[in-house]
Amino acid sequence: MAIAAVALTTVSCAYRYRERPEIPGVVVQTVGGTELGVATDDGVVFLGRSAIEGPAKVTYWIDRAPIVEAGTVRKLGGSLLQVELDVPLPTVPIDFSDLVPNEDLLMIGADGVSRWSVPVRVVNSDRIEGSAVIAPASVELAPHHVGAGVYRDTQYGMALVGLVKAVATASTGERWILLAGPTELRRALLEPKAAVEKREIRYRADGTRTILQRR
């Protein structure tokens, strides 16, 4: 059975469930386009399909009111990137524990300033490697839905377990939504990283400047 993983190139969601205003999904606009992300306790994370560096604008919501803040994209680790902002946002924790076959989750995304949520179920099949959920028949995903958050309902509330990467379609017509799941989240946020030198620029009264390297 042939399985093809493709970028998200279809139309936007055909059916929308009720909004979840308490979930801090965000829209990230970079110099290369627009994609989705999530404001987590570890920062605003996204997949960087539109840009891997440079300026970015982040749209988030307070209740149902959209707010836009400017930030800077930086590499986080693995396949994830982060937008650094100067203001705090409402956040959600990340659950790094593995997905369970047939587990019920919630996918939340946005079209412009309108948000939507769709129940999804974890794949129970050895034909798919990595993290994936069954694609609901009522939903078609578009390129700007890359980075939509997938959440687990825990005893402490909703927690992020993955970001939407692509859709895989089998020759039988079965469709799965592929995720940057707990393994990739752990790689980006929990694995030790080499110390990165930081540059601090100090300007003098004569117009010259000194660049200091700090760890």
Give domain status of residue 75, yes or no: yes
Give pLDDT, residue 6.
Answer: 47
pLDDT in tens, 121-147: 999 988 888 899 999 988 889 999 999
> How do residues 10-49 score in pLDDT, each as one tens digit?
333 434 444 555 578 999 999 999 999 999 999 999 999 9
Q: Tell whether 197 is covered by a domain.
A: no
The percentage of the chain sitting over the pLDDT mark of 90, rounded to a whole number, equals: 53
Question: Does the residue 202 lie in any domain?
Answer: no
CATH number of domain containing 68: 2.40.10
Tell me the C-alpha distance between 52 and 77, whole Å.
11
Closest C-alpha among 168, 164, 160 to residue 147: 164
Does residue 80 carry a pLDDT above 70?
A: yes
Q: How many domains does one find in the chain?
A: 1
Residues spanned by the domain of 172: 3-189
Q: Is residue 196 part of a domain?
A: no
Asked, for residue 58, whether it belongs to a domain, the answer is yes
pLDDT of residue 207: 52
Q: What is the pairing mode between strands 198-203 and 209-214?
A: antiparallel
> Degrees (nearest 5) of the Cα angle 99, 138, 15?
105
